[in-house]
Amino acid sequence: MEWLRMKWDRLWFEPAPPQNLGLCRVIFFGAVLLFYLPKDFSGWATVAEVFWRPLALFRWLHLKTFSQEHLEIMQLAWKTALALSCIGLLTRLSVAASFVLGIYLLGLPHNFGKVHHADAILIFVFGIMAISHCGDSCSLDRILRNKTSFIASRAKRTLRSAEYTWPIRTIWLAMAFVFFAAGWSKIRQSGMAWITSDQLRIFLLQHNYYLSDSDPLTSWGLVVAQYPGICHLLAAATIVIETSYPLALFSRSARRIVVPAAFLMLVAIRVLMGPGFEVLMICHIFWVPWNRVFYRLIRASKIPAPSTQQA
Amino acid sequence: MNLRVSRHLKRTNELSRARYFIINTVIGIIVAGSLFDIATRREHWPFSYYDLYSGASNEYSLTLLRLYGVTESETPGEFPLYSFRYIQPFDNARLRFALDTIDAGPNRYDRLSEALRDCLRRYEALRVSGRHDGPPLRGIRFYRVYWRLDPWARNLDFPDRKDLLFEISQSGKGRS
């Protein structure tokens, strides 16, 4: 039992420096803000009651569609919270607000007809970040509190804590479930037929008939569909990538192959078929060791390292 | 072994008991919620079993429910309403599923009338406010559209069959 607990703690609570989580926060909230900035949720207030089919969560919480004015205020508050979370000002409050308002605003469209799967992962990421110490580095809070530089001094860089590991690993876990569930659904419902039948070829053709929530970025899907062998190969690769994604949690080697492959798969879906998994693409930033990338860039550009005098 | 245990204790001791419990509870909720939905094939947003595109078939065809706008010109024409700018805040897929549910549900006539009238009202409101440059509509038709798939989608604008399911006009009542 002790052995198991040690393994468990090693997976989630291996001490790490704060910079990586901080940089992930900056990039993640910045990207989500840019993605949702042009999106307007207030239009849902204008949709007739006849379309309303509440999610279980909305039923339990007795949530309804607010008026257009209230939705406009809510989305302004949410986007402001995303911006504050990005720069790390009032980080705890702003990330918590991103989470709470995000549940309502991101969930609202799913009460009208269909649950799209693309953005559910955000709720997990917001929730995890809300209880993490993601504002300990690369934040204005940090600068204002300690008067240190944005990325923290060399002495601070050496501080390591379990608090900076578990949020990133838990986000990996949530992402692993998304991919594994998608792969497992295909195996469970269709088995090998998903690879051996013409299904992927048919999907590629169908998505050029304005089938999805967004259109393919190119007509290359039609070109790929002309080659059944490639379609079977892509179908097999899809199942392998999706079902093996959880391996990336435990194996560094698997991480180097499966995670970029999954990211490329999402890009290929967008380009060839249309459905937009941009949010899931954004979440892949949590797999990148940004602190190492950042310091490498600093070294390459020969910018003087942050001051060491303020620990 | 002692060294390993002491490292382990160092790792977890920096978290308070309550904090350690909360974090493990969060991890447990994600694992349990995800596994439950995967095992039961039920959706409890934000958890899901992600069954998108999980079916397999060799049928080179496509059947869709789709709205068509009936224009106000002297020789009335119709055009498909799948573009987001015409049907927002819905997207093409969400509106199709929503209409499918209403079409198959109880009080079909009243509910479809209300739904299509709502789509027409929003289309016109968006048009008048300059959010799209589509023509004025005098009604909306709700079709089941069928294609034999063409290898280069050349028949995109010419479905093999269109079955009219419902129709509403600006002034009159709905027609099944």
C-alpha closest to that of A86 among A275, A285, A225, A229: A285
Question: How many CB contacts within 8 angstroms connect chain A with chain B?
Answer: 202
pLDDT at residue A276 in the model: 85
Q: Taking 70 as the threshold, does the pLDDT of residue A147 lie above it?
A: no
- B125 or A156: which leads in pLDDT: B125
Q: Taking 60 as the threshold, does the pLDDT of residue A223 lie above it?
A: yes
Spatial separation of the C-alpha atoms in residues B116 and B139, rounded to whole Å: 9
pLDDT band at A157 (very low <50, low <70, confident <90, very high): low
- Strands in B161-169's sheet, in edge-to-edge order, are B78-80, B61-71, B137-148, B161-169
**Inter-chain residue contact A124 with B30, CB threshold 8 Å:** yes
Measure the CA angle with vertex A110, ends A107 and A114; round to 5°. Answer: 160
A117 neighbors A275 (Cβ within 8 angstroms): no
> Is B31 an 8 Å CB contact of chain A?
yes
**Inter-chain residue contact A205 with B151, CB threshold 8 Å:** yes
Interface subset of B 60-89, CB within 8 angstroms of A: 60, 62, 64, 80, 82, 88-89
Total-model pTM? 0.91
Spatial separation of the C-alpha atoms in residues B160 and A44, rounded to whole Å: 34
Q: Taking 50 as the threshold, does the pLDDT of residue A186 lie above it?
A: yes
- The residues with which B65 forms a beta bridge, in sequence order, are B144
Strand B137-148, strand B61-71: pairing: antiparallel
Distance from CA of A232 to the nearest CA of B (A): 12
- The residues with which B80 forms a beta bridge, in sequence order, are B68
C-alpha closest to that of B64 among B87, B51, B82, B39: B82
Q: Taking 50 as the threshold, does the pLDDT of residue A309 lie above it?
A: no
Write out pLDDT tens, residues A107-119.
999 999 889 988 9
Three-class secondary structure of residue B124 per DSSP:
helix
Write out pLDDT tens, residues A247-291.
999 999 999 999 999 999 999 999 999 888 999 999 999 999 998
Residue with tokens 């037929």: A193
**Inter-chain residue contact A124 with B59, CB threshold 8 Å:** no
**Inter-chain residue contact B14 with A161, CB threshold 8 Å:** yes
Q: Taking 60 as the threshold, does the pLDDT of residue A25 lie above it?
A: yes
Sequence ranges of the domains in chain B: 3-52, 56-175
**Inter-chain residue contact A131 with B26, CB threshold 8 Å:** yes
pLDDT at residue A299 in the model: 85
Q: Taking 60 as the threshold, does the pLDDT of residue A150 lie above it?
A: no
pLDDT at residue A227 in the model: 96
| CA end-to-end distance (rounded Å), chain A | 40
Q: Is the dihedral of CA B44, B100, A206, B133 positive or negative?
A: negative
pLDDT at residue B151 in the model: 94
pLDDT at residue A156 in the model: 55
pLDDT at residue A311 in the model: 37
Q: Taking 90 as the threshold, does the pLDDT of residue A149 lie above it?
A: no
A310 neighbors A147 (Cβ within 8 angstroms): yes
User: How many CB atoms within 10 Å of residue B56?
Assistant: 20
Which letter does DSSP use for residue A184 in this model?
H
Distance from CA of B36 to the nearest CA of A (A): 11
Digit-by-digit pLDDT tens for chain B (176 residues) are 455 545 554 555 578 999 999 999 999 999 999 999 999 999 999 999 999 889 888 899 999 999 999 998 777 799 999 999 999 999 999 999 999 999 999 999 999 999 999 999 999 999 999 999 999 999 999 999 999 999 999 999 999 999 999 999 887 666 66
- The residues with which B142 forms a beta bridge, in sequence order, are B67, B166
Helix (H) or strand (E) holding B68: strand B61-71
From the list A48, A120, A162, which residue is nearest B11 (CB)?
A162
